[in-house]
Chains A and B, each alone.
Chain A
């Protein structure tokens, strides 16, 4: 059993925190994991992505081959589309619906949504709004992780909550709790 995941968004949105928690959970379960990150120049507001591979057997490549990705988790709708050549025929996209517009030629949202429609298995959530609803406005990325947990079959959802506790522990109990609330909101929303 293996799952190949592309995490994507815009530099600064917090995809690496999502990756860190999934990584902690995989390590806890004694699974194999490889996670290629992008650091450096593109973190300045450019497109960023991370290739995350989880498996119960050896993983060779740090990069996911084209056509093999099981799940794209995106904090930004147009960024989700950037990686569709990597998505497997039965792969899923879980994406935030709120665009991050920091370029003058950002496409019309109707076109972005139509393109997402063509991709098949897509879960769309306004993670910013859901984060605000549970009074965790800065934890939109954890809402998205919660939604992703509904399809990350190799890792049980409770495990992510422990991962959040572990990763955010040094920032204090309040931060841990708001992040867990956001995670649960995402998990619930995706189940609907």
Chain B
């Protein structure tokens, strides 16, 4: 055994490598990014030639991993929770094809929205795709469970979802790890080739099978040992603690929890264990990160009249991540004495770095947009440049999801709004903007797409950007007139020229692209240090 200090993300990555991984497919996204980065830098992964290049988006990642699984090898897909929306088509249908080589999809949820636009709970995806899901409670269990998940995926011929949350993904602990790694699988094709061709006739057959299998998955969740029911000395309440909620519960009871506890790390939710717990207690408190999936599921499945508490009845907060403090109150303990919050402290929101090219681009854009009065609309997107909504720029009106800038501008242009301007980063453009640009070209829409190109995926720490060096070729290839694909360098000395170009393209009666290109100053510093 080796002892390592690992983030939850890193424990997952190392566990996957030790399970004989052949490829990781991912698009960067907080809090999932470190999984792929760990594999990219790992010596064993390099020796074995494990694929670890970034994918253009979560859908291409999911599909490539499914292709690797089809060929019999073990594959890993990683993303932040909202990435599940991008790959949902491939994800849900991968339950229909099933897996050949072990296939693990890792979704890192972000309750409290530290770096995200919503609190969606990926367990729901596993549930409606009828796929098993694991939710480890500690870094050590993450390392152990990912390996079990690969074996399980191959045993039941089904992809599995691994759900981490921010505090697991980005928290370090000491993890005991194997000294040897399992060999990679060799190429071998599925035993049942029909179910990989989802024609309705095949899919109907497979759907019946999947529903039958899902019952087996639930039985597995009772028997495999990742879900455990522990007796207590006080049966006034019973507690269902999912994933890391278990840690917050145990924090309250250094000498052991007096109440019976069902610790949940594997889904489908094991109803049989919940019934056993309910038969012993008068009230159940459900503790789960994210949305009240288990709490809602308990309705109608218990044989005995038991009061169910959790996020829905106010025993725990309806939103936000769990904390040891809110769990303490939920089990009826008095709050610990604490000091009053400082009245001197003021918020310190994040901001665009000093010297960042996005700043100069927004300055120039604002100078032009303000001359059009209130009618102009600017639609932005997901990335560092989203911080341009804050003071002093207040540079745009919307930010929704990856790629929405361009297509919302198309909707605005089609509504007769002018100027309709989209602002998107280079990595977000190749992630989800290119198809929208094709729509704009076909519609001959009078809109201006501004690609603020810093040559990297900046917000997540400077990963490769899929279209670097080819953005002009991509835009003209999609059909934007070459003379309306303009490149500017966002620097204060260039404001006059930048504003002239922006104004000209806003006035052009058709889709135009302005690429504001200057390297991210964070990656620039790093490249300079390397030299």
Contact = CB atoms under 8 A, between A and B. Distances in A.
Contacts of B324: 61, 63-65
Contacts of B233: none
A1 interface: no
A36 interface: yes
B349 A38 contact: no
Chain B: interface size category? 35 or more
Nearest to A44: B350
A47 interface: yes
B310 to A, nearest CB: 19
A78 B342 CA distance: 9
Contact of B173 (A34, A38, A42, A103): A34
Contact of A10 (B5, B31, B348): B348
A42 B348 CA distance: 9
> Which range contains the number of A residues in contact with the other chain?
35 or more
B501 to A, nearest CB: 28
A59 B137 CA distance: 12
Chain B, interface SS category: loop
A85 B170 contact: no
A85 B339 contact: yes
Nearest to A57: B254
Contact of A60 (B33, B168, B250): B250
B172 A37 contact: yes
Contacts, number: 149
Interface in A52-88: 59-68, 78-79, 81-82, 84-87
A81 B344 CA distance: 8
A79 B337 CA distance: 21
Given A33-B173, A34-B171, A40-B31, A85 B338 contact: yes
Contacts of B34: 39
Interface in A4-57: 10-11, 23-24, 27, 32-47, 51
B118 to A, nearest CB: 14
8 contacts: A10-B348, A33-B174, A35-B171, A43-B350, A47-B348, A67-B338, A106-B346, A115-B342
Interface of A: 10-11, 23-24, 27, 32-47, 51, 59-68, 78-79, 81-82, 84-87, 89, 102-103, 105-107, 111-112, 114-115, 119
Interface of B: 3, 5, 7, 30-31, 33-34, 114-115, 167-168, 170-174, 244, 247-251, 323-325, 328, 335-353, 384, 387, 459-461
Given A63-B323, A85-B341, 8 more contacts: A27-B174, A40-B459, A62-B247, A65-B323, A66-B338, A78-B346, A81-B342, A107-B344
Return the 3 tightest CB-CB contacts between A and B, nearest first. A40-B115, A40-B30, A46-B350
